[in-house]
Amino acid sequence: MQKNLVICPVCRGPMGLEKGRFGLVYKCLNYPKCDVTHSATKNGTPLGFPSDARTRKARCELHDLMAKVWDYKNNDERAKMYSWLGQNSKYGHISMMSFGEIQQVMIKVNKLLAKKTQ
Ligand SMILES: [Zn+2]
């Protein structure tokens, strides 16, 4: 099943492909000493960038924050959200953001949220 050898960017150990909550994910085989994960597409191609627990937590927070501005269940709203994210982030996807970029995008989302709730 595993086609790609993925090396953990933190401990340099190998990463194994597993089924996670949101599809396939590479997990560092040195877990629990190292908790880096890396999402993958359905055919096992690494997607986005490996992240540590701090970055993953920040991504979840950003996702929840953005859900207050755009209704993800509504297709139009979701399309608007992706278009906004495309203009306001390097890769247009939360799973590709570094911890630093998430902080910057969060500031912008908070501004939109403030406008929306005025
Ligand atoms: Zn590791």
> Domain check: are 61 and 28 in the same one?
no
> Domain check: are 42 and 59 in the same one?
no
Residue 7 CA to ligand 1 centre (angstroms): 8
Residue 25: inside a domain: yes
Number of domains the chain is built from: 2
The parent domain of residue 21 ranges over 6-50
Helix ranges (DSSP H) in 17-90: 53-69, 75-88
pLDDT tens, per residue, the chain with 118 residues = 545 678 887 888 999 999 877 788 899 999 999 988 888 888 888 877 778 889 989 999 999 999 999 998 999 999 999 999 999 998 888 888 889 999 999 999 999 999 987 7
**Model pLDDT, residue 4:** 64
Residue 1: inside a domain: no
Give the pair of three-digit tokens for residue 95.
């799973």
**34 and 11 Cβ atoms separated by less than 8 Å:** yes
Pairing status of strand 23-28 against strand 6-7: unpaired
Residue 15: burial class (beta carbons within 10 Å; 0-12, 13-18, 19+) = buried
> What's the predicted TM-score (pTM) here?
0.66
Name the 3-class secondary structure at 11: coil
Residue 53 CA to ligand 1 centre (angstroms): 12
